[in-house]
Chain A
Amino acid sequence: MLAESTVTRVAPVAGIRIIHELMDGIELEHIATVEWRGTKDAGRPLVIRHEVGEVTTRRMKRVLDVPPWCTFHLDERGEPSSQFHAVFGEVDRLLSCELPGSQYVVRYAEPPHGPVVALQSELTAFSFALAARGFGLIAHSCAFILPEGAGVLCPGMSGAGKTTLARLLRDNAPAVDLLTDDRAIVTLEDSLTLWGSPWPGSARVAGSASAPLSAVMFIRHGNAVALRDVSPGEAFRRMVNSLSMPLWEPARCDRALEIVDAIVSQATLVEAAYPPTADAARRVTRQLARALR
C-alpha cells in the first residue's frame, strides 16, 4: 500500500530538479524562501523524502562534527549521512542516502511541530548528489555575470564581503546579472559552468541564469580600486575551503579536486581591493571586464 504523500517541486538547480516527497503530514515552510525561477531541466531529478521515523546512526561511522549544527556519518556503503541537531528547537533529523546521487531521505525523530525549513537538508542533499554524480561543487561565494557574458565567482567564507559586493552591484551596476550572494554552483562537463542557487545570503540574491566560468575574483577591502593577478597555487589555497569537498570518499574527493584544478587552470584569477562605494563597484566590474578581453 502506498503511503499518502504530498509532493513539492523546486525548479531545477544547475539543471537538477529537486522533488520533496512529504510523508506523515510533514509540511515545508515557504514563507522564508526566495523566488527561484529555476534553470533549464537537464537531468535526472533529486528526490528528497521527508518522513517521521527512528533517527539512528547505528552501523554508521562518525566522520565529521560541525558543532553545533550537524554530524556527518558514513553508512555501510560509504554513503554520507548528516544528522542535524535541534539547535533552534527543531526536531532531531537525519539525512541519509537511498540511491546515490538521486534519492535521499530526511527522517524526523518525532512529528515536527510545524512546517519545516528545508534549506539545510536540501542544500546538504544537493551537495551529496553533486559529489555522487561527479558533476560539480557548491561554492560559498558571491557570483555574477558581466554584461559581456563572463561568469565571475567571488569565493569567501562569512565576513569576506560577499553580501556587501552583491548589494553594491545590485544597486549600482544594473548591467551585471547577479547570481547569488552566498552559494554558487560550479559544474564541469565539457567546460566549466557557473550557476546561481536558491540558497541566498542576507542580500537575498537568487538568480537562475548561468554562464561559462571565466574568472575567479577574490575580494578584500582596500582604500582604492586595484586588481592584481593571483597565481593558480594561491587561488587554490584561498578558495578550497569555500568549496563543498566530499572528504569522505576518495574517488569523489579526487573528482572534486579535478574540478578545482580545472577552475584555477582555466579561469582568470584576480584579487580585487576596493572601498565599499558605488563608484568602486562599477570600476571593479569595468576593470575585470578589461582583464578578460
Chain B
Amino acid sequence: MAATDNTRSNRWRRAASVIARRVAGETVLVPLAVRASDPEFKSARLFVLNETGEYLWSLLDTPRSSLELAQNLTLEFETVAGRAHADVEAFLAALCDIGAVRQVTDAQAE
C-alpha cells in the first residue's frame, strides 16, 4: 500500500516493526526482519534520516495526517507548501514501503 494512494486526511504513526536509534550522530531506522528471499536481507537494511526526515519521524510519535505533517514542515523549515506536501508524500511512501509506519483509524488514534 503506497502512502500516495491515500488522501491527505489519512493518519499515520510509527510501526512497532522498526527500530530507530541515534548512531554516529544520525537517526537510523532498522526494519526488523519480516520478509526476505534475497540473500542481501541476511544483513540489516538501514535507512538514515536527514534533518527533515528526523523531524517528521519525531512527529509520527503520535498519529498525523500528511496534511498535518506538511503544515509542520512548512512552519519549521520555511518550506513552500507545495514542496512540503511532495516531500511528506515521498517520505511516507518510503516509510510505508519498509513497514516503518502504519495507517491508523480514528478509533486507534484516540
A residues contacting B by CB (< 8 A) are: 63-67, 72, 231-233, 235-237, 240-243, 245, 247-250, 253-254, 257-258, 260-261, 264-265
Contact = CB atoms under 8 A, between A and B. Distances in A.
B1 interface: no
A248 B48 CA distance: 20
B44 A261 contact: no
A233 B25 CA distance: 7
A249 to B, nearest CB: 8
Interface of B: 16, 19, 21-26, 28, 30-34, 36-37, 39, 41-44, 46, 48
A50 B37 CA distance: 28
A237 B46 contact: yes
Contacts of A235: 24
Contacts of B31: 247
Nearest to A74: B33
A236 B32 CA distance: 18
Contacts of A64: 33, 36, 41-42
A245 B43 CA distance: 7
- A-B pairs with lowest CB-CB distance, top 5: A232-B24, A241-B43, A247-B33, A66-B42, A64-B33
Q: Dominant SS at the A interface?
A: helix
Contacts of B19: 250, 253-254, 257
Nearest to B40: A241
Contacts of A258: 21
A67 B16 CA distance: 27
Given A65-B37, A250-B32, A254-B19, A265 B42 contact: no
Q: Which of B22, B26, B34, B42 has the most CB of A within 10 A?
A: B42
A235 B26 CA distance: 12
A261 B46 contact: no
Contacts of A232: 24-25
Contacts of B46: 237, 240
16 contacts: A64-B33, A65-B37, A67-B39, A233-B48, A237-B46, A237-B48, A240-B46, A247-B31, A247-B33, A249-B32, A250-B19, A253-B19, A257-B19, A261-B22, A261-B23, A264-B24
Contact of B23 (A67, A250, A264): A264
Contacts of A242: 43
Contacts of A253: 19, 30, 32
Nearest to B30: A253
A232 B48 CA distance: 13
A192 B46 CA distance: 23
A18 to B, nearest CB: 23
A266 to B, nearest CB: 11
Contacts of A250: 16, 19, 32
Contacts of B36: 63-66
B48 to A, nearest CB: 7
A120 B28 CA distance: 30
A216 to B, nearest CB: 12
Nearest to A67: B39
Contact of B28 (A72, A249, A257): A257
Nearest to B32: A247
A257 B23 CA distance: 7
A242 B24 CA distance: 17
B39 A66 contact: yes
Nearest to A71: B36
Contacts of B48: 233, 237
